[in-house]
Every structure is written in structure tokens, then in C-alpha cells.
Structure 1
Amino acid sequence: GHTVKFPFKPYPSQASMMSRILSGLDNKENCLLESPTGTGKTLTLLCSALEWHREDLKKSNNNNNGSDSDDTDSEDPVENFRPNPSPTIFFCSRTHSQIKQLTEELAKTPYRPNMLVMGSRDHYCINKELKDVPRKKERCKKIIKDPGCRYYKKEFVLSSISTFRKGGAKQVWDIEDLKKAGQEHSECPFFVSKDMLPSSDLVFCPYNYLIDPSIRSTLKDKVKNSIVIFDEAHNIEDALMDASSFESTLDELYENVFQVLKQIRMNPKIIKNLSPEKEHAINIIHPIMDELVAWIREKSESLKPIDFEKHSRVWKGKEILDILQGIGLSESNYFEFSSSVKALSDETDDKQNKKDKLGKPSAILEEFSKVIEFIFKNANWVDDYVLVLQKQTVLTNSFVKKQQSSKWNLIVSIWALSPRIAFSSLNSKTHSIILTSGTLSPLYSFPFELASPFPISAEMGNLSDIKNRAWIGTLSHGVRNEKFLCTHGNTDSFSFQDSLGETIIEHIKIIPSGVLCFFPSYGFLEKITDRWASTGLLDKINELKPAFAEPKNIKDFNETLIGYRQTVQSNPKKGAILFAVCRGKVSEGIDFSDEYARGVIVVGIPYPNLKDLRVDL
């Protein structure tokens, strides 16, 4: 048996969930567990996984030392910087805001593993010169080499001191803590975090660090035999398909790949500054890109119109293999192409300098090569792919189209239509994978869609007194007895829009504090709020609760979220209302506890766009 150290007496649903997780880890089995929001799922996952890890480490140490000691916390601080034989726990979530909440939950537990929060340069970089720079990865590589980044060191003090390790002053921390320490020590927190990886027992990271093979490869041996937990896994299938797909415009391929490689091949001065491996890689890749660009241009003349602004054509299965064969890629040489792409992206090449122009082509080629590897490594997977060529009119801005212009934007895509491709490549490397969320049902479909067994599968019950804590219901009609039929045509009617606004007003009169109101799309949200602004309904809503609307832009979104929270804090009884979008930023990974969400209103159902070609396929 196992004795889990829980910070309080667990609810029956938590105890049941911990029992299943421990059983899965004991038997190296995958787990599929649905646990409703508000049932303490994160705490349950952390405590059960960390207790299993503690016991497994104790067994490993006893086997190595011939000791029966129960003490797994080494008194030697050097041990905190050595990899241990027990499986690493990767705790994955959708966003970094969710990860911050995970570290806060870890602080509530009695467990103090060597932890790490992984993030990109966008999250960790403290060099002011790169603050608002796009393609930060490429610029970072250049500035390190010439003229040099003052935060980049050959050896980092922060990764070799105990502050951020077990027993240190910051043994539970988040990205902001490491960034602050990086500024104090003049050390790059991004590279410090990479240095800390080998000795970390618990790693928090976004989904794509594990499901994207090109990113996962940077984690080296840490993924082998690891425990991978996907929290909020209701979107995992879409994320897996995105991770095994490729998409680029013809302009990007031509200008940022083909033309750059061509210029390098024709310039002896640049070639001289490249290693022989990179020169060979360019000679392999450039002809294939030449053929790909030519193929796209040729086929763009025979696309079928979807509507006035978009034309497309789709190829499947063996047709894709024939196309790849035509541009010079086959089962016999794809590995050479893939190796060449890796050589082109090699950051350790000493001869690389500021004249090296390989940053842009490397990024695009890595994505393309990843999908090519998937297709050729398993002959059955090609049937899960479609190759799509689309052309659509270019927009001058978000509202006005170039109706008179003949310019088209050509897009080539290789879409994975099954999540099993990316999942299988991860599942083959791990000890156990745990998928959990408040909304996973129907559970029976996951083993088939992911082509992997989940022997431990269960729906956890809700809190026993949930009916006394919350009212959950549906409304078929509004205050004017207007039928709430949220179809495309009906939501355009003013009677529907006005009735919806008045119904929301009646509800926020009685709901205290903060209220979240979700719409199916940004277009729906803008259409409704524009109407309410013109009729005065928005003014009435603002009188009851100051209204905020979720913007598309991330910078504006952060300001909106801060404004909403501050308004609720300043007057908790009155609160505020935040209009948001299903599958938008508000709906994914942001904690609206207590007075920030005493009421939640959902308008309609966020079905996918039927005109989306990917949905149609």
C-alpha cells in the first residue's frame, strides 16, 4: 500500500482518484480520469504522483546501498544536483498561467521535490534589447555569438546553488522568481532552467514540450521512462494533431527557405564560414525545396473554388507519397533529409557567426521534416494525413478585402487527422501517461483515437453537497418569451439580441460579485455588444456591473483581465461582468475563484465552423 501525505482529509472522490493513479503507476499503466472542476484534482495528482516517486526513489536507493532506511531526503546537498534513478514527473498544462497555479498548489503539499518550470525565451528572456523582438530564438542565437549577451555565461551560478532546489529558500517557485534571480545575478534564466533539467524530479511545462517531437528531443533522456501528466486534457487531441501537422505559405517557403539557401550556395564567402556538415545539408535540402516550390506553383492553377475568396485541392494517402517522391523524398532518403535539417539547426557549430542566415529556414524546415518523419516511419500513418493546397484573397486589414486585386495567398498544409500519430511516439517512451480533466467524456473513445490502452479509466463523482452550493440550469426562452435559438441566422435578429441582453440584466441583478459570460465566437461577442451599445442595454449592464470584453490581442487581454479583477476587488458585492469567448483565453487555464466568478453564463454551443476545410475533412 501507499501512504499519501495530503494537506487535509481528502474527499471520497479524491481518495478514489489517488488510488487509481497509484495503481496505474505501480503497474506502468496509462490512466484516463475525469474529475469535475472544483474537486481538488490538481492537489490529488501532485500528492499521489509525488508519493509514488518518493517511494520508488527509496526503493532505488535501498537497492543501490543495501540499506533499509526510510529517509529519502539526502543530507548531502550535492545529491540535489544529481539525476536520480526514479522516473521524472512531467506535469503538463495548456498555458503558463495554468502552470503558475500548479506551483501554487504544490506549495500547499508537504512534498518538496527538485522542481523546474520550463519556458521559452519569450517567457524567460530578461535582455531588454530583445523585449519586443519577434522570432526571439533567432535573435538570441545571434546576440550570444556577436556581440554577446551579458546574461549568457559558460557556467551559471544559479543552477549550481541550493536556492531553487529542495530545502532552498525558493524550493517552490515560478517563472517570475527565476527571472528576478536572473536579474540579480546577471544570468539568463532560460539557460539556467535548461541547466537545472537533469537534476529535476518534477517538471512543469506546456503540452507542446512533450507532444512535439522536435521540442521533446531537447529534453534528451529525461522523457525516457517518465511519468507524464496532462492536466485539462480535454483539448489534448487537437494539440496532438497540431503537433504532427505542417503549414506554410508559398511566400514563406520561397523567400525564407528556398531563396536564403540559394543565396548561401551562390556566395563563397558565406559557404566559407559554414562547417562541412552545414554545407552538405544545404546541398541536400535546396533541390528538394526547389521542387516543392515548383510543385505548389504548378498545382495552384488547378484548384477548385470553395467560395468566392478561397480555392483548394486535397490529396490523401498514396497520393501524398507520390507527391513526396516527385519532389525527391522517399522512404529510402527521408532520414538523410531529416539529418540534414538537424545539421542546419545545430547550435553548437563553432564556425557559425553573424553572417549565418540559417535561422529562418531552419525553423520552417524543422516543422516540415518532423511531419515527413512521421509519414515515412510508419507506413500506416500516411492514411491519417491529407495534403492540402489552398489559395485565398489577401486582406488589406481585418475588415476590407482587396476585391479588385488578383493577388492570392497560397498555403500548403500537411494535416494530421488523427491524434494517434503524435501520441504513439510519446507513449512508447514513458512509464505512464495520465490524462485528466473535468470534461473528458465519453472516455471509451480515447483508447481508439489515441491507439493506446488506458487500463485505468474512471469518472470521479462530484462533491456530495454540490447541489446545495450551485444552481445549474438551462434557459430555452428569454424575458420577452423570445426563443433562445442560437443558430447563425437567428442570432442576427435584433429581437434575439435585445432579449438576451435583458435576460442577462435580470440575472446579474441577483448574482453577487463577478460574473463570466461566454459566447461561441469573437464575431458573436462583437455583434451582440455593438447592438447593446446602440440600444442602451450596455449602459444598463454597466450600471449593475462594470462590463469588460475579452479582446483577441494578448497585450490588451492582460490589461482587460487586470481591470476586471481590480474592479471586483474594489467592490466585491457589486463585482463586474466579463464577456468572453468559448475556447478563447478566458476559458483556458485562468483561475476565477470565489468572488471572481459567482455566476457563469454560456450563450449557445461553440460548434466548429462548418466552412472550415479542416472540419469538413
Structure 2
Amino acid sequence: MTSPLEPQSLTISGVEVLFPYKPYDIQLDYMKSIIHCCQQKVNGLLESPTGTGKTLCILCSAMAWIRTFEPKMRQLMVTDEEGLQQEVVVSDDRHIPRILYSSRTHSQLSQCCQQLKRTHYKTERAVVIASREQLCLRPDVRSLSGTTQQSMKCSQLTKDHKCAYFEGFDQKVKSSQLLPEVDQYYASRDDDCKVMDIEDLMDFGRRHTCCPYYSAREMARKASVVFTPYTYLLDPELRGNNKSKGISLKDSVVVFDEGHNMEKEFEERMSTQLTTHMMDASLKRIDFIAIQLQTTPADRLPEEFEGLKIAKLLELETCLQDLRRGIAMKFVSNRVFKPETKALFDLLDESGLEFKEMGKWIKLLEDICDIRVDTGAGNTQTNGDPFWCLKLMRDFLCKIYPKSVSIETLDEYKREFCDKYRLYVESDNTTNDWVFNVWCMSASVGAKALLAEDINCLIITSGTLAPIDSFDLEMGVKFDVKLQNSHIIGDNQLSIINIHHSKNKTVLTSKYDNRDNMEYYRALGQTLIEILKAVPKGVLVFFSALGQTLIEILRAVPKGVLVFFSSYTALNKCTQIWKQYRNDNIWDKLNAVKQIFLEPRSKHAFNECFVKYKQKVDENQSSGAVFFGVFRGKLSEGIDLPDDYCRGVILTGLPFPAVMDPRVILKKQYLNEAKIGLSADGWYALQMKRALNQAIGRVVRHKDDFGVIILLDSRFASLSDEIEVIFYESKLEFLLTIDGTTGCAHKCQLF
């Protein structure tokens, strides 16, 4: 491989691209697609398996295209009249397009930074925008649970001038010294690298007594590449906040990596809700502030109270009380759980929260949120925290009436909203608590709002986007460029086996009507045991007809194995049954073959479990480990487990969304009514296939990796022609005999 210091010079679509090594053909195709999107300002869906260098290809090709603007801009500044020069400078900090590279997690973004540091383009300014949890230098802030508490503590410290790091940042910005000091930091490096990842930002902050969290946002104004979590690009309010701070999306190349779930991401970011807890805490806070205004002399009030009027506070309080009462009386009391969407606008108007007054109410809520006077209640939990609830109240109103709506477009906006949104009310009869959900049913709402920011192009990429053709319909956006790359592994690096039933002739199926079949669970466990014995090191498992089957499989697969279940409910039920029925001894047998790790729900607990799993696989005398996870969970989404950490992936069923989930029911109803070209049943099957493909993608992580995929559900046989997993379409074997697990174990050992 050629050293990054001596890059390969390639000419792709007239653009010189400097790549760290001689690219594969599929990498050339990928970079050609990226450059086409950039040059023609068209959107792209690009699928390329893990290990094929997606990140490197995106960064090198897009940066190469951006560099073609530099001589043009220098010429523009020389030839244009002085007045036009000044207009260009004032209108935007950047004259050249930038890359906004987004992924799901901070760890994935850190990996992207490391990739950029390997390239010739490391000399371009690049920075990560991250949360306070990642970028705050103060232990008393980082130790707080949740971003809300951290944000509140940070705001309090900065307003009281008690954070030395923010004071340092503020002083440097006001004296225009921040960026020169950043340049000094770059110059102190030996390799001319200007890529600032999280560790670099923290190091810079310590050395220069300067807040990394705020510094990153200031650096982003001048950066060619900005790495950011999804939230900063998908949430309209955060986009607006960033824009006001000079981080504009205009002319940007927007990339969503790991983008196989973008439909869901857009829908969730555009949805909102009200709860009794949220409204009660908000009303209590407003009442407290009103009392402070009434009873405290003006000269003793904190400066945050300046401009607040008691009459306006009481008017807002009345509006929110009417809104709370209206939801309770119209929907909860009358057991109307799926009201017409139009009822939302009627309810807001009747409560005094009509559109023409919305600007002042949102501004008043913002002013109240800025007040940090303690109520003395001592409640710091998210659900009841008054600051958090007031912010959620404001966010709710902003989602219903975004800034883009005007009095001229109001009627059309309401029609569109009623078409694309559905309401759902949940209530608890014992406590009288309720949740008023406003669910977005179409990703097109968020996608079109993003495109309205005048971006250059939108690129969604992942190792598994298949089935790819449905994205146009789901997103409501035209994707002119579509690419599906094949994998670079050989036929001898992957084996796929389907087991129809267990050794004792029990058919393996995780269908809903089989959920209480004890024989199924026993058979699944025994089959797993046999497979785990044959697969070395790490194994990942998903739910299906398991017990005895799993025992046999685990004996056959070395090292690490992943087993995926359809849900936490399925995972918990399986493990409970295996532990409860001591006569079969399935749980102990599984644990004897490979140590079992269960995927926790919380992020921190998962990270700890993940480390312990890898340590167990790394032990020299270890028979490996098995990690039980769930489809769509942390284990199946974006986790990198190469080589011995994952020699096998076992799928115990088909991960259809929960059929009785109210949101799934409403989504299917919406699709049947909207007639966008994607049926409800078609969408339902797509959700299963994408979750399936993503889980299977854990098994081969680079060109020299290898592993086995084992399908423990009889229904896979009928779906073999439909499941578009990127590298095994022609390789699926079916072991349908009654001793299928024995045949599977033998196949694993031979492989």
C-alpha cells in the first residue's frame, strides 16, 4: 500500500483526486458517483459494504472537488469590484462549499476524523461538533446525567462568569484571537494536520484555557469539513441555531453515513408530543416566576427578569391551562385516542395559541427558559425538571408552527400538515396522566426542509441500503445517482446456512403465534449450543426457535458469535425460559460453551458490556463468547467487530416491526391513504429487510475478514429471493433435514 505521504493522483470526471493508495474498481465507481453529485448538484444513494473504504472515498473525492473552487474564488476576489467583495465577505464566512459529514454516534465521527488524517487533505481545516458530554472540560458538568442537566449547569456557570474555560473562549473571540491561536496549535504539530477531533479539541482547550465545546462551533465557521451527529442537521431548531452562529448549510455537501434508517430519523425529528408532566411542570414554573415578579422589588430582581410583564405571563399561563384542559376533556375523557389531525389546530386556536400570536408566545417561553432562579423543588429528573419542560413546551410549538410558515402560506401548510401527520393519545386511567403524540408519517417533511436550506447535494450512504429503489418514495426526494457496490471478499470468506428445524424435528419459527411455544424455545437453545461449539471467538445472536439449536450451533462456531433477537421482549423471554427450565439445563450449557453477554438498553451499560465481551474473546485459552442482542439495537447498528470478535452471526427470526404498535398501525394506514407508490405491506416488509441486512453486515468488516451467517427460522427459505443482503445473494444454502443442526455444525467446522 502506498504511504499517505505519497498519494495516488487520479483524474475522476475532470477532478484531480489524491488517494492514499491505489483504489479498487468499486472505490473508483464510488468516488465518481460522489463527484457527479457535487458537480451536478443532484442527490445520491450510495451503498458499499463495510470494509470497502466508504469514508475515505467520500472525503477524498468531495475535498478534491471543493479544491477546484479555490482558484476561482481567488480570481473572483481580484477581479470583482470592491463593493461586491465586501458583500460576499459579509454574506457568508465561507465562499467555498463545505462538507457536512454526519453519522449516528460520536465514536463513528472519531473514526471519520482518523480517516481524514490519513489523507493528503489533512491540511484542510476540519472539526467535530459534539455535545458537552464529549467536549466539556469541567468534571462537575460532565458528571451530570443527561444533556439537559449539563446544558443547564453550563448556562448557569457561563452567565455567572464562573467558568474559566468559557471566559477564555469569550475573550479570545472578542479580541479575534481564537482562530490565530488555533493556527498556532496546528503549527505545533509535525505533520501540518488541521483536523481537530474530540481529543484534539480537549487538548487545545486545556493548553489555551478555552472551552472546546464553543471553540468547535467557532472553528466550524471556517472549516472545509464539519463532522456532526445527525441531530445537528436533522433538527430544524438546531439548524437554525447553527445558522445564526455562522454555520450555514448553503452550498454544502451533506453526507449521512450509516444512513439506512434515514426515513425513521427524519420522521422522529419532525415529530413531537405533550405530556401531563411537561405541562404541569411548565405551569408551575411560570406561576413561580409570576410570583417572583409580583413580590420582589424591581431593583432586587435578577437581570433575566428584565422585560418580563406579569400580564403576559398570566396570559400564557391561561393559554397553557386551556390547552391541557382541552386535551383531557376532548380526547382523554371521551377515549378518542386517534383524533383527526385538524383537531390539533382547532385546539391551539381555542386555547389562545393561534398562529398570529405564536411568535410572541415562543419568545416569552425562551425568555422564561433563560431564568435560572431555583424553585427550591429540588427535582432534577428530566420528566419533571421545569427548565427542560419549558424547553419541550417551546419546541412543541415550534414543531407545529415552524419559522418558515407565513400568514400567506398558513392554509396550505395546515393542509400539508394534516396530510403528513397523525395524532395519538395515550392515557393511564389510574393516574390520569396522558401523552399527546403528534407523529410525522412521512420522511419527506424533514428531507424537503433540509433541501430548502439551499444545500449543494444530499448524499445518503451505508453498507446496507437495500432495497434501494424505495428510498425515493419514502423520502419524497429525487435521487438521481444510485450505486450498489459488490463486496470485495471471495466466495471462501463467507458461508450462509439456513436451518429449517432442530434435531428433535421442531420447526424453528419466531412468528407471533409461536411466542408461547415452549418446545420452540427449547429447540432453539439446543441448536445454538451446537453451533457455538463450532464457531471460534465472537458470536452475535438474534431471536427465533432456539434453545437446543443454539447449543449445537455454538459448539461449532469458534471465538465470537453474535445472536440477534427480534426485540428485548423476545430476548428476555428466551433467557428467562432457558434459566427457568432446569431439567433442560440450556442456559448453563450455553454458558459453558461460550460465556454469554446480554445487550443492555442504556448506552453506558452497553459500552461496559461491549468492552468485557471483547476482553473475553481476546483471552488466549478462551473458547470465545456469545453476545445476545436485538435487531435495531446498539449491537446491530454501526458497531465494528472485525475478525475474531465476530466469526458468526445467528439470526433467530425475521425482525418485523411490532404489528400492534400504534405508530406502526398509523403508518400503515397513512401509506394506504396517501398512495405514494409504496403500500403498507411493502413498507412493513422493507423495515424487516433493512434491519436484517444491517445485522448481517456485522460479520465481514474488511477484505481479509471471514465468517458464517446462520439463519434459524423456517421462513427464510421462502424469502431467499427477496432478501437483498449485499454479499450473499447467490450463496444461500438450505439445510432442511431433521438433523440440520448436525449438518450445520459440520459445515461450520469445515469452513
TM-fit CA distance, 1:601: 1.2
Give the residue type in structure 1 aligned to 2:421: Y
Deviations 1:53-81 (A, max 9, x none): 222234323433479xxxxxxxxxxxxxx
Q: 1:518 to 1:129 in 2, by over 3 A?
A: same
Structure 2 residue 582 is the aligned partner of structure 1 residue 561: no
Correspondence for 1:372 = 400
Q: What is the letter of the counterpart of residue 95 of structure 1?
A: T
Amino acid in the other structure paired with 2:418? V
Work out which of the residue numbers 164, 179, 188 in structure 2 matches 1:150: 164
The equivalent position to 1:196 in structure 2, one of 209, 214, 219, is 219
Moved more, 90-99 or 147-156: 147-156
Cα distance in structure 2, aligned partners of 1:194 and 1:149: 18
Aligned mates of 2:365, 2:474 — CA distance in 1: 31
SS of residue matched to 1:424: helix
Equivalent AA in structure 2 for residue 214 of structure 1: E
Answering whether residue 113 of structure 2 is matched by residue 103 of structure 1, we say yes
Render the CA deviation track for 1:207-255: whole Å, top value 9, x for unaligned: 1110101111121142122111001111111111111111232122112
Distance 1:364 1:459 in 2: 40
Gap change, CA 1:141 and 1:486, over 3 Å in 2: same
In the TM superposition, 1:249-288 aligns within 5 A as 249-255=275-281, 257-268=282-293, 269=296, 272-273=301-302, 274=304, 277-279=307-309, 282=313, 285-288=316-319
Q: CA RMSD in A?
A: 2.9
Residue aligning to 1:313: 337
- Report the equivalent of 1:162: 183
Which of 442, 449, 467 is residue 491 of structure 2 equivalent to?
467
Compare relative contact order (CA 8 Å, sep 6+) and give the higher one, 1 or 2.
1
Alignment match, 1:402: none
Question: Mapping of 1:110-509 within 5 angstroms?
Answer: 110-112=120-122, 113-130=124-141, 131-134=143-146, 135-146=149-160, 148-153=162-167, 154-156=170-172, 160-162=181-183, 165=186, 168=189, 171-220=194-243, 221=246, 222-255=248-281, 257-268=282-293, 269=296, 272-273=301-302, 274=304, 277-279=307-309, 282=313, 285-304=316-335, 313-345=337-369, 354=373, 359-374=387-402, 378-379=413-414, 380-392=416-428, 406-429=430-453, 430-463=455-488, 465-509=489-533
Question: Paired residue for 1:39?
Answer: 52
Write the distance in 1 (CA, Å) between the matches of 2:136 and 2:459: 31
Distance 2:200 2:602 in 1: 26
- In the alignment, the residues of structure 1 paired with residue 528 and residue 373 of structure 2 have an alpha-carbon distance, to the nearest angstrom, of 59
Structure 2 residue aligned with 1:525: 571
Contact residue 94 and residue 207 of structure 1 kept, 8 A: yes
Change in 2 beyond 3 A, CA 1:512/1:285: same
Q: Confirm or deny that 1:51 pairs with 2:64.
A: yes
Q: Could you tell me which amino acid in structure 1 is paired with residue 152 of structure 2?
A: E
Q: Are the equivalent residues in 1 in contact too, given 2:66–2:97 (CA < 8 A)?
A: yes
How far apart in 2 are the matches of 1:244 and 1:2?
Answer: 38
**Which stretch has the larger CA shift, 271-280 or 174-183?**
271-280
Aligned length: 578
Q: Find the residue that maps to 1:61 and give its secondary structure.
A: helix
State the 1:141 CA deviation. 0.9
Residues 567 and 575, structure 1, Cα contact 8 Å, conserved in 2: yes
1:126 corresponds to which letter in structure 2?
Answer: L
Q: Measured at CA, do residues 176 and 502 of structure 1 come closer, stay the same or move farther in structure 2, by a change above 3 Å?
A: farther
Instruction: Determine the C-alpha separation between the residues in 2 that align with 1:286 and 1:58.
Output: 58
Amino acid at match of 1:483: V
Counterpart AA for 2:567: S
Equivalent residue letter for 1:450 = M
Q: What is the TM-score when the length of structure 1 is the normalising length?
A: 0.86
Q: Distance in 1 between matches of 2:427 and 2:297?
A: 35
* Counterpart amino acid of residue 27 in structure 1: Q
Cα drift, residue 353 of structure 1: 6.1
- Aligned to 1:199, the other structure's residue is in SS state coil
Residues 28 and 432 of structure 1 are in contact (CA less than 8 Å); yes or no, is this contact kept in structure 2?
yes
Q: Is the 8 A contact 1:7 1:110 kept in 2?
A: yes
> Is the contact between residue 240 and residue 419 of structure 1 (CA under 8 Å) also seen in structure 2?
yes
Structure 1 residues 459 and 539: CA distance shift in structure 2, 3 A? same
Worse-superposed segment, 275-284 or 437-446: 275-284
Is 2:638 the partner of 1:589? yes
CA contact (8 A) 1:282 1:344 kept: no
Q: CA deviation at 1:19?
A: 0.7
**Structure-2 change in CA distance of 1:387 and 1:328 (3 Å):** farther
C-alpha separation between the residues in 1 aligned to 2:17 and 2:356? 52
Matches within 5 A, 1:16-35: 16-35=29-48
- The gaps in structure 1 that reach 5 residues or longer are 68-81, 305-311, 394-405
Contact 2:355 2:401 in 1 (8 A): no
Identity %: 31
Q: 1:108 to 1:598 in 2, by over 3 A?
A: farther
- The 3-state SS of whatever aligns with 2:468 is coil
Q: What is the CA–CA distance in structure 1 between the aligned matches of 2:475 and 2:71, rounded to whole Å?
A: 33
Give the gaps of 5 or more residues in structure 2: 1-13, 81-91, 376-384, 540-561, 667-751
Q: Which residue identity is paired with 2:18?
A: K
| Deviations 1:75-100, CA, capped at 9 Å, x for gaps | xxxxxxx9441112111111112212
Compute the TM-score of the two structures, normalised by the length of structure 2.
0.71
Q: Matched residues in 1 for 2:348 and 2:627: separation?
A: 49
Letter in 2 for 1:145: K
Partner-residue secondary structure (3-state), 1:332:
helix
Displacement of 1:196 after TM fit? 1.6
Q: Which of residues 576, 583, 588 in structure 2 aligns to 1:539?
A: 588
Instruction: For residue 91 of structure 1, give the secondary structure of its aligned residue in structure 2.
Output: strand
Task: Give 1:276 deviation, angstroms.
Answer: 5.1
User: How much does 1:15 deviate?
Assistant: 1.2
Instruction: Tell whether the 8 Å contact from 2:274 to 2:393 is kept in structure 1 after alignment.
Output: no
Q: CA deviation at 1:566?
A: 1.3
